[in-house]
Structure 1
Amino acid sequence: MIALLLILVPLVSGLATFLIKKEEQVRTWSLLAAIITFIIAILGVAVYTAPGGWTFRAEWMGLLNSSFSLKGDGMGIMLCMLTALAYPVIFLSTWTTAYRKVHNFFGLMLLTQAGLMGVFLAMDALLFYFFWELALIPIYFICSQWGGERRIAVTFKFFIYTFIGSLLMLVGILYIYSRTPGHSFDISAFYQAGLSAKEQSWLFWLFFVAFAVKMPVFPFHTWQPDAYQQSPTAATMVLSALMVKMGVLGLLRWLLPVFPIAAYMNGDTISLLAVTGIIYASLIAMRQDDMKRLVAYSSIAHIGLMCAAVFAEDKSAMEGTMIQMFSHGINILGMWIVVEIIERKFGTVKISALGGIAQKAPALTFFFVIIAFANIALPLTNAFIGEFLMFKGILGSKVSQNGVLIMATAGLGIILGAVYTLRMGRKVFFGETNALTEKGTDIVFHEKAILAIIVGAILIVGIYPQPFLNTFDQISQSILKNSDVLPMLMKQKH
Structure 2
Amino acid sequence: MNVSLILIILLIGALATYMVGDKFASKIALLFGLVSLGASILLLNHYNLGENIGLFTQWIAKPNISFALQADGLALAMLLLTTALTPIIIFSSFGTEVKNAKTFYALILFMAFAMAGTFLAADGLLYYIFWELALLPIYFIALVWGNGDAEERKKAVVKFFIYTLAGSLFMLIGFVYLYQKAGSLLIEDLYQLNLNGTEQIWLFAAFFLAYAIKIPIIPFHTWQASVYQKAPTVGTMLLSGIMLKMGLYSVIRWQLPIVPFAAKAHVTIMLVLGIAGVVYGSIVALKQKDLKKLLAYSSLAHVGLIAAGAYTLTTDGMSGAVLQMIAHGFVVVGLFFAAEIIFRRYDTRTIADMGGIRSQAPKFTSLFLILVLASVALPGTFNFVGEFTVLYSLSQVNMGFAIVGGTTIILGAYYMLKMFQSVMLGETNAKPFADVTANEGIVLVVIISVLFFFGLYPKPIVELIAPSIEEIVNQINRIK
TM-score by length of 1: 0.94
Please tell me the root mean square deviation across aligned C-alpha atoms, in Å. 1.2
- Separation of aligned partners in 2, 1:225 and 1:54: 38
What's the CA shift string for 1:214-267, capped at 9, x where partnerless? 100111001000000000111110000000100001100011100101111111
- Separation of aligned partners in 2, 1:374 and 1:488: 39
Q: Which amino acid aligns with 2:387?
A: E
Q: Which residue of 1 aligns with 2:479?
A: 488
Answer yes or no: is the 8 Å Cα contact 1:314–1:394 preserved in 2: no
Q: Which residue of 2 aligns with 1:456?
A: 449
- Residue 98 in structure 1 maps to residue 90 in structure 2: no
Displacement of 1:20: 2.8
Answer yes or no: is the 8 Å Cα contact 2:29–2:105 preserved in 1: yes
- Residue 472 in structure 1 maps to residue 465 in structure 2: yes
Percent of aligned pairs sharing the same letter = 37
- Separation of aligned partners in 2, 1:300 and 1:54: 34
Match for residue 410 of structure 1 among 385, 399, 405: 405
Displacement of 1:174: 0.5
- Separation of aligned partners in 1, 2:17 and 2:173: 35
- Residue 61 in structure 1 maps to residue 63 in structure 2: no
Q: Which amino acid aligns with 1:63?
A: K
Q: Which amino acid aligns with 1:406?
A: F
Displacement of 1:54: 2.9
Q: Which residue of 1 aligns with 2:45?
A: 46
Q: Which amino acid aligns with 2:334?
A: G
Displacement of 1:16: 3.0
Q: Which residue of 1 aligns with 2:224?
A: 224
Answer yes or no: is the 8 Å Cα contact 2:355–2:429 preserved in 1: yes
What's the CA shift string for 1:130-179, capped at 9, x where partnerless? 10011111111111111122221001110111001110100000101111
Answer yes or no: is the 8 Å Cα contact 1:372–1:422 preserved in 2: yes
Answer yes or no: is the 8 Å Cα contact 2:16–2:28 preserved in 1: no
1:57 partner SS: strand
- Residue 447 in structure 1 maps to residue 440 in structure 2: yes
2:134 partner SS: helix
What's the CA shift string for 1:295-331, capped at 9, x where partnerless? 1001110000011111111111111111111100010
Alignment of 1:68-467 (within 5 A): 68-148=67-147, 149=149, 150-180=152-182, 183-397=183-397, 403-436=398-431, 439-467=432-460
Displacement of 1:47: 1.8
Answer yes or no: is the 8 Å Cα contact 1:2–1:41 preserved in 2: no
Q: Which amino acid aligns with 1:36?
A: V
1:194 partner SS: coil
1:76 partner SS: helix
- Residue 13 in structure 1 maps to residue 13 in structure 2: yes
Q: Which amino acid aligns with 2:479?
A: M
Q: Which amino acid aligns with 2:162?
A: I
Worse-superposed segment, 108-117 or 134-143 = 134-143
2:122 partner SS: coil
Q: Which amino acid aligns with 1:98?
A: E
What's the CA shift string for 1:164-213, capped at 9, x where partnerless? 11101000001011111xx0110011111211001111111100110111
Displacement of 1:376: 0.2
- Separation of aligned partners in 2, 1:361 and 1:73: 44
- Separation of aligned partners in 2, 1:311 and 1:51: 30
Q: Which amino acid aligns with 1:430?
A: L
- Separation of aligned partners in 2, 1:167 and 1:331: 32
- Separation of aligned partners in 2, 1:294 and 1:188: 41
Q: Which amino acid aligns with 2:196?
A: S
Displacement of 1:405: 2.0
Answer yes or no: is the 8 Å Cα contact 2:90–2:105 preserved in 1: no
Q: Which residue of 2 aligns with 1:33?
A: 32
Q: Which amino acid aligns with 1:280?
A: Y
Answer yes or no: is the 8 Å Cα contact 1:60–1:68 preserved in 2: yes
- Separation of aligned partners in 2, 1:236 and 1:2: 31
1:440 partner SS: coil
Displacement of 1:18: 2.6
Answer yes or no: is the 8 Å Cα contact 2:118–2:131 preserved in 1: yes
- Separation of aligned partners in 2, 1:71 and 1:267: 28
Which consecutive aligned stretches of 4+ in structure 1 deviate over 3 angstroms post-superposition? 50-53
1:488 partner SS: coil
Worse-superposed segment, 9-18 or 199-208 = 9-18
- Separation of aligned partners in 1, 2:193 and 2:167: 22
What's the CA shift string for 1:107-145, capped at 9, x where partnerless? 111110000000111111111001001111111111111
What's the CA shift string for 1:408-464, capped at 9, x where partnerless? 11112321111111011111111221213xx11101112111111011001001111
Q: Would the alpha carbon gap of residues 445 and 2 (structure 1) be closer, same or farther in structure 2, given more than 3 Å must change?
A: farther
Q: Would the alpha carbon gap of residues 363 and 57 (structure 1) be closer, same or farther in structure 2, given more than 3 Å must change?
A: same
- Separation of aligned partners in 2, 1:302 and 1:2: 35
Displacement of 1:13: 1.6
Worse-superposed segment, 425-434 or 202-211 = 425-434
Answer yes or no: is the 8 Å Cα contact 1:301–1:413 preserved in 2: yes
- Separation of aligned partners in 1, 2:195 and 2:12: 39
Displacement of 1:58: 2.1
Worse-superposed segment, 49-58 or 337-346 = 49-58
What is the total number of aligned residue pairs between the two structures?
477
Displacement of 1:407: 1.1
Displacement of 1:27: 1.2
Q: Which amino acid aligns with 2:39?
A: I
Answer yes or no: is the 8 Å Cα contact 1:44–1:53 preserved in 2: no
Q: Which amino acid aligns with 2:473?
A: L
Displacement of 1:96: 2.8
Q: Which amino acid aligns with 2:98?
A: Y
Q: Which amino acid aligns with 1:441?
A: A
Q: Which amino acid aligns with 2:444?
A: L
Q: Which amino acid aligns with 2:174?
A: G
Displacement of 1:49: 2.6
Q: Which amino acid aligns with 1:17?
A: T
Q: Which amino acid aligns with 1:334?
A: G
What's the CA shift string for 1:48-92, capped at 9, x where partnerless? 234546322222112222111111121211111111111111111
